[in-house]
Amino acid sequence: MSKSKHLGVTPPISLDFSDKHEEALADDLLATLKSEGLFESEDERKTREVVLGKIDKLVKEVVYQVSLKHKLPESLARECGGKIFTFGSYRLGVHGAGADIDTLCVVPSHVRREDFFECMTEMLKARSEVTELAPVPDAYVPVIKLQFSGVDIDMTVGVLQQPTIPEDLELSDNNILRSIDEHSVRSVNGSRVTDEILRLVPNIPTFRLALRCIKLWAKRRAIYSNSVGFFGGVAWAMAVARICQMYPN
């Protein structure tokens, strides 16, 4: 990393690289984390990808059906789009076996949140691979909780003020936050914050290894939960990201 350019609000504390002993300790740490079952298997990874692909198709179908309900021509209804984004531990790349996937469903302006919850819930009920379906529309961040082919999913929705949702939509553009309701802001910011953390760390593999370790350490000591006053997943990720900025190499 150049001494004239750094990530974060202050320059790094040290630009030193790890020596061979420290690299050996990092390898031992990785082996320990694997022995603790903190990494998913290849079969689990493929299952998650298939599930996310099916959910993406479901979101597009919901937008299509709601668009027809609002009297849009079928040709225009098909072009309204819809897209999913992941966030949380799955997007950060630090999820373990059996962890849930936080999924944001982005829909165009004419698809109201109530429409989405009603239509999506009915479609999910009709799928044999979906179990434990529990819509919570009145939560601080409205969510649909479910299991899809054995994978736990927390599904939120963001309604953007635009008529269509293109496949190349990026949430990093601050303009997408204009005029959207408070619930959508909370939902969309989950994905935006996760992506921003990854953008601001100097070495993503090192960040992920450190965060996996810190999360295990915190959970073993029962200090991992924002609901009881401790750091939650995002707070721990931000703290680890800051340390990575201060020791980038």
Residues known to be catalytic: 89, 100, 102, 154, 215, 224
Angle at Cα 15 formed by Cα 11 and Cα 17, nearest 5°? 155
Largest CA distance in the chain: 67
Residue with tokens 């350490």: 217
Question: Tokens for 38?
Answer: 């903190």
- 42-69 vs 113-125: helix crossing angle, rounded to 10: 120
Q: How far apart are CA 238 and CA 223, in angstroms?
A: 16
Q: How far apart are CA 54 and CA 130, in angstroms?
A: 11
Q: Are 108 and 63 in contact (CB under 8 A)?
A: yes
C-alpha 137 chain-centroid distance = 19
Q: How far apart are CA 210 and CA 149, in angstroms?
A: 30
Compute φ and ψ for 92, nearest 5 degrees: -70, -20
Question: Tokens for 71?
Answer: 């009297």
